[in-house]
A and B are shown apart, each in its own frame.
Chain A
Amino acid sequence: MSGVNTDRLKRKKSAANGVFYGVIGLLAALTLACLIIIIGFILVKGLGNINWEFLSQEPRRMGREGGIFSVIVGTIWVTLVSIVIATPIGIASAIYFTEYSKEGRLVKVIRFFTEVLAGIPSIIFGLFGFAFFVVFLGMGWSVISGGLTLSMMILPTLTRATEESLKTVPMSYREGSLSLGATKWQTIVKVVLPCCRPGILTGLILGIGRAIGETAAIMLTVGGSLRLPSSLFDSTRTMAVHLYMLASEGLSEEKTYATAALLIIIVLIINTAANLIGKKLGTL
């Protein structure tokens, strides 16, 4: 009699397992589907409109015709400036926190504020950037105003990624280096930091990802000029801003989707490149 009961119990258990497995699988598929649908939708509608004219010509009639060459250039400039400013500061801060400072109250406070900085909404950065860089310092709507503002936004991510990376480097490497007569600084530069390259790269990629997607903060600090920027103090337009303007003013459906598709492709390329470089650096 007990044999029948255990049989039923077993069947119930395996049925429950199966249902659970099925539900989990379904939800995972849903996540993947979201990603594929969004990317697929944009690419399907926009890829067809990306051609050499689109990439190389300047926009005409406020973007209804022509290409987005000046916008691409503007995007690169602003992103580049923000990276160039944020990277040394981020890495240096991370080194200071992990290698030099004592884990006291001051460090904990600074770390807390860094975390808070990471969570502040972009529009607030934009407002600050406008008030401080554009107006107070008189830089006007420009690549440099936008670059500085963006660098503040990506700094916490970069610092944290570098810090986490530094923490995973075993103490034994540092001891080995110091015992050979190296100074602390030599140890950090020649032994510890090289180990952190994948981590720092990840932080950079995350930073670039955020920078490229910024819209509101860019509009407030860089403006929206369609002219090709010729100096750091020129106003320009980034792809995300151009996309917003085309869409909100309904200027051209094809150009809108084409810009969106290009943006997605760039993000995919950056992520893939980061993956490959990360793997290569991770092996030696």
Chain B
Amino acid sequence: MEQTVKLAMPERSQEQAARKAAAEKAGMEKKFDIKKLNLFYGAFQALIDVDMEIYANRVTALIGPSGCGKSTFLRTLNRMNDLIEGIRIEGSIQFDGQEIYDRSYDLITLRKKVGMVFQKPNPFPKSIYENIVYGPRIHGEKDKTKLDAIVERTLKEVALWDEVKDRLDRSATGLSGGQQQRLCIARCLAVEPEVVLMDEPTSALDPVATSKIEGLLEQLSEKYTIVIVTHNMQQAGRVSDYTSFFLSGKVIETDLTEKIFSNPSNKKTEDYITGRFG
């Protein structure tokens, strides 16, 4: 695949590039289809006519300067914005073809299928085991053997099992920041979501923890659809298949990551990528 490299692009394996190209050609499954999304905090409009498609089993990164609306947008996907008073949403957000803001759409099902990992790790002040089984228990799982299996599976998925398998009943708050964040990811995976939303998951972590979590994302994307908000452009370049550039509440450009970073269509995108502002 020929690429005009204007900027330093992190290395991508041949396998990845081939996979992306193949998927482009085949019909891709759309997990989220967002059309003309407008969001208002009272009188202030935070999102303006946002159109976007999020594809299954891909990592989509949302980049842009602070306050551009990317976190707000992320939170509309699992309706976490419902918690904020005075919010008004117009437009269409379809998940697997269904309007999620319909009155008849079950919020609990949405949040089970679309999980979220927050910027600051927020494990409950319970044991590691209790943190992970919280989700499955909420949804009715009582069988201890199944719960034990879920704990082992999810902790292995986030590469935390070996570190904590002998102290599952110790408090989660005793773990390091990076471990806590991986625990939060595991906790999210325990309810078997289809999509995992990540709101700047590594911005509160040190570089070692950050690279561990970035390393997880490729594997996770084989099973889940990942949408990650990041203000770190290099991170977006490293981990994502698609990138969407937000500016002042609008989506300026959404495309394959390789294209955005090497040959963006919009000048504003290029200015941001090359560090002229932001």
Contacts and interface: CB of A to CB of B under 8 A. Distances in A.
> Are A and B bound to each other?
yes
Nearest to B112: A181
Contacts of A190: 134, 138
A147 to B, nearest CB: 35
A126 B232 CA distance: 66
B75 to A, nearest CB: 9
13 contacts: A172-B118, A173-B125, A176-B187, A179-B116, A180-B112, A180-B115, A181-B111, A182-B134, A186-B138, A191-B124, A191-B134, A195-B125, A284-B171
B125 A179 contact: no
B216 to A, nearest CB: 19
A181 to B, nearest CB: 4
A84 interface: no
Contacts of B125: 173, 195, 284
Contacts of B112: 180-181
A177 interface: yes
A181 B108 contact: yes
Given A172-B120, A172-B122, A179 B138 contact: no
Contacts of A175: 80, 83, 118, 122
Contacts of B124: 173, 176-177, 191
Contacts of B85: 102
Contacts, number: 64
Given A172-B122, A176-B118, A176-B123, 17 more contacts: A175-B80, A176-B122, A178-B80, A178-B83, A179-B111, A179-B116, A179-B118, A180-B188, A180-B191, A181-B109, A181-B111, A181-B135, A181-B139, A186-B138, A190-B134, A190-B138, A284-B171
B57 interface: no
A183 interface: yes
B134 A180 contact: yes
Interface in B3-22: none
Interface-central residue, A176, A177, A181, by most chain B CB under 10 Å: A181
A283 B122 CA distance: 17
B234 to A, nearest CB: 27
Nearest to A182: B138
Interface residues of A, number: 20
B146 interface: no
B134 A179 contact: no
Contacts of B108: 181-183
B78 interface: yes
B151 interface: no
A181 B191 contact: yes
Q: What is the interface of chain A mostly: helix, strand, loop, or mixed?
A: helix
B171 A181 contact: no
Contacts of A172: 118, 120, 122
A36 to B, nearest CB: 38
Interface in B155-183: 171
Given A181-B135, A183-B108, A176 B126 contact: no
Interface in B184-219: 184, 187-188, 191
Contacts of B135: 180-182
Contacts of B188: 179-180
A259 B206 CA distance: 62
A190 B126 CA distance: 11
B122 A178 contact: no
Contacts of B116: 179
- Complex A-B, nearest 10 residue pairs according to Cβ-Cβ distance, in ascending order: A181-B112, A172-B122, A181-B111, A179-B116, A180-B135, A176-B122, A182-B138, A181-B108, A186-B138, A191-B124
B134 A177 contact: yes
Nearest to B184: A176
Contacts of A176: 118, 122-124, 184, 187
Nearest to B108: A181
Nearest to B197: A179
